C-alpha cells in the first residue's frame, strides 16, 4: 500500500539521472563565430516561461557545432543538456543533429535549427498526441515578425528516435560542406517506406528573428561540393540498392557535455490498470508471434 499512499516521496526517491518522465525531446544545433550566443540563451529563456506541467515532460538538447566563440552558459529552469563538439568541422549539421538525437531521452523527437521555435500549444500537442511511428512530420511555419505563413523549413522534423537510428541518422559524408544532408536524409527514409506528412496548421513553428550580425555565423553557403555527393548517391541507389547510399559515417568527432539541468519531476498520473492487465499484453504478444 505504500506505493499508493506517498506518491510524492516515491517520485523523489528515483535516481537523479532518471528521465523516464520525458515524452518529447527537442534537438537544436548552432554554430557561432561572432560576438555572443544570445540567439541560444534568448530561445531557452523563452521556453522557461512555458507552463511547468508541459516543461516537466520536454527536454531540450543544444549542440554547439564547434563554435570558436568562448562563452559562459547561464542556469536554466528547464530539462536541458548542452553539448559541444570539440572539432570545428564546417557545416557539420549532420553530425551535430546525430549527436543530439543520441542524447535524446524520449522516442518522440523534434529536430530543428536554433533559428526556429515552437509555441507551447505545438509542444503540448506532440507530448499528448500519438506516436509518429513510420511517419516524419514537417511543421507548418510562420514568420515571427508578422505571423505570415512561409514555406516549411527543410530541416525541421517531428519523428521517432527509434526510426531515426534504425536508418542510421544523417549521413555525415556531407559534413565539411554546405547543404543537402536533409534532402538525402528524407530521400533515404522514403525509400525505406517512411511517409512524409505535415502537421495540422495550428501546430506550427516560428522562424525566429535572430541577430545575424552579432549572434550567428559567417560561413559561406555553396552547394557545389555536396551536389556531387547527392548525384553519386542517387546512382549508387540505382545500381546497388538504398542501403549502399548511406555511408554510415556517424559521430566522426569528439564532444563534451558543457551543462545539464533536470527539473524535479511532478507526480505522474496513476495508471494502475496497466500493471493489472499485464497478462493480457503478454498473451497478445505471444499470439502475434
CATH class of domain segment(s) 17-287: alpha beta
Phi, psi of 123 (to 5 degrees): -65, -40
pLDDT at res. 286: 55
Comparing C-alpha atoms, which of 76, 39, 33, 82 is closest to residue 62? 82
Q: Which three cell numbers stand for residue 163?
A: 526510426
Each residue's pLDDT, cut to its tens digit, for the chain (289 residues) gives: 444 456 777 777 777 788 889 999 999 999 999 999 999 999 999 999 999 999 999 999 999 999 999 999 999 999 999 999 999 999 999 999 999 999 999 999 999 999 999 999 999 999 999 999 999 999 999 999 899 999 999 999 999 999 999 999 999 999 999 999 999 999 999 999 999 999 999 999 999 988 989 999 999 999 999 999 999 999 999 999 888 889 999 999 999 999 999 998 777 777 777 777 777 777 776 555 4
pLDDT at res. 185: 96
Residue 52 has a CB neighbour count (10 Å cut-off) of 10
Q: Which three cell numbers stand for residue 104?
A: 535524446
Cα separations (Å) of 21 from 70, 136, 259?
A: 33, 23, 20
Kindly write down the DSSP assignment for every residue of the chain, as one continuous string.
-HHHH-HHHHHHTS-TT--TT--EEEEEEE---SS--HHHHHHHHHHHTS-HHHHTTEEEEEEE-S-S----PPP-SSEEEEEEESS--TT-HHHHHHHHHHT--SSEEEEEETTEE--HHHHHHHHHS---TTEEEE--EEETTT--EEPPPTT-EEEEHHHHHHTTSS-GGGTTS-S-HHHHHHHHHHHTTPEEEE--TTS-EEE----TTTSS-------HHHHHHHHHHHHHHHHH-GGGG-------S-EEEEEEE-PPPPPPPP-HHHHHTHHHHHHHHHHT-
- Length of the chain measured in residues: 289
For 58, residues 6+ apart whose C-beta sits below 8 A from its C-beta are 22, 23, 24, 25, 26, 79, 123, 127
**CA 65 – CA 272 distance, rounded (Å):** 44
Kindly write down the DSSP assignment for every residue of 211-237, as one continuous string.
-TTTSS-------HHHHHHHHHHHHHH
pLDDT at res. 5: 55
pLDDT at res. 13: 77
List pLDDT tens digits, range 171-209. 999 999 999 999 999 999 999 999 999 999 999 999 998
Amino acid at each position: 500500500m505504500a506505493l499508493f499512499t506517498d506518491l510524492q516521496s516515491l517520485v523523489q526517491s528515483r535516481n537523479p539521472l532518471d528521465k523516464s518522465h520525458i515524452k518529447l525531446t527537442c534537438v537544436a544545433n548552432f554554430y557561432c563565430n561572432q560576438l555572443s550566443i544570445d540567439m541560444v540563451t534568448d530561445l531557452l529563456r523563452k521556453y522557461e516561461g512555458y507552463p511547468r506541467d508541459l516543461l516537466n515532460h520536454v527536454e531540450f538538447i543544444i549542440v554547439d557545432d564547434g563554435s570558436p566563440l568562448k562563452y559562459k552558459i547561464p542556469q536554466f529552469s528547464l530539462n536541458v543538456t548542452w553539448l559541444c563538439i570539440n572539432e570545428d568541422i564546417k557545416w557539420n549539421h549532420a553530425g551535430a543533429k546525430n549527436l543530439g538525437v543520441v542524447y535524446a531521452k524520449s522516442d518522440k523527437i523534434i529536430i530543428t535549427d536554433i533559428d526556429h521555435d515552437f509555441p507551447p500549444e505545438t509542444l503540448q500537442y506532440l507530448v499528448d498526441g500519438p506516436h509518429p511511428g513510420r511517419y516524419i512530420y514537417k511543421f507548418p511555419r510562420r514568420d515571427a515578425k508578422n505571423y505570415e505563413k512561409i514555406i516549411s523549413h527543410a530541416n525541421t522534423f517531428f519523428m521517432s528516435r527509434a526510426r531515426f537510428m534504425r536508418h542510421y541518422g544523417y549521413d555525415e559524408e556531407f559534413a565539411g560542406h554546405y547543404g543537402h544532408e536533409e534532402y538525402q536524409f528524407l530521400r533515404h527514409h522514403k525509400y525505406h517506406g517512411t511517409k512524409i506528412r505535415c502537421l495540422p496548421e495550428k501546430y506550427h513553428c516560428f522562424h525566429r528573428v535572430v541577430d545575424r550580425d552579432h549572434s550567428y555565423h559567417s560561413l559561406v553557403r555553396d552547394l557545389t561540393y555536396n551536389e556531387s555527393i547527392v548525384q553519386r548517391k542517387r546512382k549508387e541507389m540505382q545500381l546497388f540498392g538504398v542501403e549502399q547510399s548511406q555511408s554510415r559515417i556517424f559521430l566522426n568527432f569528439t564532444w563534451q557535455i558543457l551543462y545539464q539541468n533536470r527539473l524535479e519531476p511532478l507526480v505522474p498520473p496513476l495508471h494502475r490498470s496497466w500493471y493489472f492487465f499485464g497478462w493480457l499484453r503478454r498473451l497478445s504478444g505471444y499470439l502475434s508471434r
